[in-house]
Structure 1
Amino acid sequence: MNGHSSQQHPLQPIFSAAATAAEVIGHINLTGKTAIVTGGYSGIGLETVRALHSAGAAVIVPARDTAKAEKSLAGLNGVAIEPLDLIDAASIDAFTERFLATGSPLHILVNSAGIMANPLTRDADGNESQFATNHLGHFRLVNKLWPALQQANGARVVSVASRGHRFSPMVFDDVNFIHREYDRWKAYGQSKTANVLFAVALDRRGKAENIRAFAVHPGTIADTGLAKHVAQEDLQRMGAIDAKGNAILDASRQMKNAAQGAATGVWCATSPQLAGIGGVYCENCNVSPVVTEEEFESWVSGAMGRLEGVAWYAVDEGNAERLWELSGRIPNFDKTNNR
């Protein structure tokens, strides 16, 4: 099953790289639709909630810090906040049971919560925390919410990945850094590769029931809490901030603010342009080209002169199935909920 989807190629663009979530949502009407946005109380997650809410959707924001979420979401009447910790299986199960008990269909699920480049920590089962939070928690969440996605008769699941997937493919023989030295950026890259592969495998399982999945690179957004484990000098060296600590904005290089960063995810969640499409990685409100193995080194170094694209290994169908099978073996996972 090696190879990637024939749909992984750019479409005729409608929006520019500088488009905001508000522009993308445009005249789309989500009245009567229900959306869940993890991480929906900061950064691009918050901008995503604002856009979906403005279009009339009933939005639920699962939050590890409900007090912070209430403060961030004040004024967005009708947005519901529910407790959820993505690194805690029991917390995920409790959240999904509460939602399913409402009988509501789930039309949009945006997996925006995540952590980046933190020191080595592990969940209760010994999984490395970036992989556990960014991928395994969302894997469990989606599988548990599957009946509500089916009920929507047309649902989209959007996973916020990153161009950082180029830092590492999936290292299937040592996902949790048991036998190799921990590298926080490789761990981050691996978790983001997992986000992309998850969309590939999820879409394959859902498309017959019109449940479509997407992975997105939002851009480099300095004004979020995601970079709290990254030193100022490192952010400056990466070109994300200037000498005074201000975010550098240049949409042509995918250096965006939060409103621009949320645009591609909102586009994937709502755009009629993506009807009949799924299992693809997107950026700048478009489907991305594939960066081949031959192109990879020059792409990473910047010698190719382009920043767009998804590494071949992150959309490989064989890798996607291998990750799904591995994820389904996490301790205490109810196999009846595993597609």
Structure 2
Amino acid sequence: MGFFSAKCTSLARLDGKTAIITGCNTGIGKCTVQDFFSRGGRVVMACRNLEKANEAAESIKEDCKNKENLGEIVVTELDLSSFKSIRNCARRLLSTEKRIDVLVNNAGVMMCPETKTEDGFELQFGTNHLGHFLLTLLLLPKICQSTPARIVNVSSTGHTGCKMDFNDLNWETRKYSSFQAYKQSKLANVLFTKELARRLKENNITGVNVYSLHPGVIKTELGRHVRLSIPWGLHWLLNTMSLFMKTPEQGAQTTIYCAVDEKCANETGLYYAECESKEPSAEAKNEEAARKLWDVSLKLVGLEDNFFNLQK
């Protein structure tokens, strides 16, 4: 139910605009699709499971059937744990979409068992950070042509209390901790946001704003691995906490705020919660770590070091 949950009150429309949302067949992503659809936007649902995504799209259309001035919903395949899938998806979007006004990097995995991506990276770092890093940079030229545009990275307050371990990003020398791996991937989301905003400004690319956010603690499918990661004796605590969790609709509000609200239209590189900017952790403001993560990520996903120069 969420005892404290801010709401995006903006009435901004998305008529004639295109928004891409990753991992949005359930939870806060699905709620974000419905909101953008209701605002008249063309919403591209980029999801791994096309069958579930199409079912979600039909469900949203049914829920909105009595509303006017709706947009349209398009479904496309995207598996963020596969660089091949990401590149194929980006290629399709660049050819089919005339513009990309909003990109919401919403998809994520949380506290899953130790697993590797198709390309050999720890699943949470590979999906939550590297996957979205690659997708964003591949789509960036089109985003820059669609200004004013926004890039929204869904992170978590879980980014606090950890640092990037650049000596072992893949958890090959440390004992694997699904919780710490998740925290590191969420810290990477905030650092990526900060560094992307800095590099856009440094390269005199204007009109593209970047946001990271904590949606709140939400009852969604994302936490399905959590029960497997904690001792049985603490499940009562999880059950108690669930009474205070937000609904997916409540959890989507800060994402929607960052994507459409006029009040943050001139802000970039900041971190948000409850529909307002907040201070992230000290490590999330570490400029050296942000630069290093950028450089390392470019190499890991196979992009050129002079990426921004190539966009001019």
Give yes or no for the alignment of 1:280 onto 2:273: no
> Are 2:161 and 2:281, in contact at CA under 8 Å, matched by a contact in 1?
no
> Are 1:34 and 1:106, in contact at CA under 8 Å, matched by a contact in 2?
yes
Q: 2 CA distance for matches of 1:174 and 1:259?
A: 36
Deviation of 1:334 after TM superposition, in Å, equals 3.3
Over the matched positions of the two proteins, sequence identity in percent amounts to 36
Bigger drift between 71-80 and 131-140 goes to 71-80
Q: 1 CA distance for matches of 2:165 and 2:291?
A: 14
Aligned residues: 291
> Are 2:10 and 2:260, in contact at CA under 8 Å, matched by a contact in 1?
no
Q: 2 CA distance for matches of 1:315 and 1:177?
A: 23
CA offset digits 1:230-261 (Å, max 9, x no partner): 1179496585533xxx9313xxxxx3111111
Give yes or no for the alignment of 1:111 onto 2:105: yes
Give the gaps of 5 or more residues in structure 2: 62-71
Closer/same/farther in 2, CA of residues 240 and 149 from structure 1, 3 Å limit = farther
What amino acid maps onto 2:254 in structure 1?
A: T
The equivalent of 1:231 in structure 2 is 227
> Are 1:118 and 1:229, in contact at CA under 8 Å, matched by a contact in 2?
yes
> Are 2:213 and 2:254, in contact at CA under 8 Å, matched by a contact in 1?
yes
TM alignment of 1:1-339, pairs within 5 A: 17-20=4-7, 24=8, 26-77=10-61, 78-207=72-201, 208-221=205-218, 223-231=219-227, 234=230, 239-242=237-240, 247-249=242-244, 255-289=245-279, 310-330=280-300, 333-335=302-304, 338-339=307-308
SS in 2 for 1:159: strand
Q: 1 CA distance for matches of 2:33 and 2:105?
A: 12
What amino acid maps onto 2:18 in structure 1?
A: T
SS in 2 for 1:35: strand
> Are 2:28 and 2:249, in contact at CA under 8 Å, matched by a contact in 1?
yes
Q: 1 CA distance for matches of 2:307 and 2:24?
A: 25
Q: 2 CA distance for matches of 1:185 and 1:103?
A: 37
Deviation of 1:125 after TM superposition, in Å, equals 3.1
The equivalent of 1:11 in structure 2 is none
TM-score scaled by length of structure 1: 0.81
SS in 2 for 1:100: helix
Deviation of 1:76 after TM superposition, in Å, equals 3.6
What amino acid maps onto 1:334 in structure 2?
A: L
Closer/same/farther in 2, CA of residues 130 and 27 from structure 1, 3 Å limit = same
Q: 1 CA distance for matches of 2:267 and 2:229?
A: 41
Q: 2 CA distance for matches of 1:42 and 1:119?
A: 21
CA offset digits 1:97-122 (Å, max 9, x no partner): 11111251111000110001111111
> Are 1:108 and 1:155, in contact at CA under 8 Å, matched by a contact in 2?
yes
What amino acid maps onto 1:185 in structure 2?
A: F
The equivalent of 2:65 in structure 1 is none
More helix as a share of residues? 2
> Are 2:215 and 2:253, in contact at CA under 8 Å, matched by a contact in 1?
yes
Deviation of 1:204 after TM superposition, in Å, equals 1.4
The equivalent of 2:67 in structure 1 is none
Q: 1 CA distance for matches of 2:75 and 2:227?
A: 31
Q: 1 CA distance for matches of 2:84 and 2:228?
A: 36
SS in 2 for 1:148: helix
SS in 1 for 2:112: coil
Closer/same/farther in 2, CA of residues 240 and 202 from structure 1, 3 Å limit = farther
Closer/same/farther in 2, CA of residues 46 and 197 from structure 1, 3 Å limit = same
CA offset digits 1:251-276 (Å, max 9, x no partner): xxxx3111111101110111111122
SS in 1 for 2:225: coil
> Are 2:22 and 2:47, in contact at CA under 8 Å, matched by a contact in 1?
yes
What amino acid maps onto 2:266 in structure 1?
A: G
The equivalent of 1:12 in structure 2 is none
SS in 2 for 1:174: coil
What amino acid maps onto 1:241 in structure 2?
A: N
Q: 2 CA distance for matches of 1:153 and 1:75?
A: 31
Q: 1 CA distance for matches of 2:236 and 2:296?
A: 33
